[in-house]
Amino acid sequence: MDWFSRNQKLLAAIAAMFAGVSYWAAFELLLQSLISGSEFVTLVIAATATSLIIVFAPSIQEVSIGGNIIKLKQAKVDADETLKNLNNARVSMLVATLSSLRRSKPDFNESSSGFDDRASYFLSLYDANKDLLNNAVVAEEFRSGSEHFITESMKNINYHCRVHPNDGLGHRPSPEQLEGWYAKNRGTGGEVGSVPLQFVEYRKLIEISERLKSRR
């Protein structure tokens, strides 16, 4: 069911309002002798025709303009089909990109920060494609991707922060544990300049994973 079919009452209300305002304006113009009687009739007919077009827009099959017939119904069907195909292509491309990103290896030579920036790219894809999360395939790709990059992000943090096994964080600490550890140990060795950003990404990945798990 398209928008027009779902909103017949709204269209009828708009048409009635338009007709009422148009009739009132035509009467006012006629009373003030700003238009002639024939012009008044023309305005009333035009307002009535426009109101009917608004109400019956879903049923209008074609319109003739200057002898050229425009098939509205078919044009809408074609447009809907094109949008559907474009959306399917977008889903396929996104799934392929996420799958490829998950299988890729970090390229530190390409990263200006010296960090594995694949998680950042993954998060940017998630933010840009939230409208596709109702698609089960896309949601599963993002869920599995978040799980993968949680592990990769923790490896990144371990390497740059010199997290020691005896620190008790484990392989997958909560964001609160990780941030508490950083607050306690920052400046005690290792490269920590960009770590806060990595922690933010780690938290976001955890949140995405938990959110998508709850939707399964």
> What does the pLDDT look like over 165-179, one tens digit per residue?
556 666 788 888 887
Per-residue pLDDT, averaged over 117-126, amounts to 92
> What pTM was estimated for this model as a whole?
0.59
Task: Give the model's pLDDT for residue 207.
Answer: 94
Domain boundaries, the chain: 3-60, 105-214
More confident residue, 161 or 87: 87
Residues 40/26, Cβ–Cβ less than 8 Å: yes
What would the pLDDT profile of 50-72 be if each residue is shown by its tens digit?
Answer: 877 776 666 555 555 454 545 55
Beta strands 62-65 and 68-71 are antiparallel
Nearest to 58 by CA among 27, 15, 101: 15
How high is the mean pLDDT of the chain?
Answer: 77
pLDDT in tens, 151-164: 888 888 777 776 66
For residue 24, with 0-12 CB atoms within 10 Å meaning exposed, 13-18 middle and 19 or more buried, which class applies?
exposed
Nearest to 126 by CA among 195, 207, 213: 207
Beta carbons of 91 and 64 less than 8 angstroms apart: no
Q: How far lies 105's CA from each of 118, 120, 152, in Å?
A: 9, 14, 10
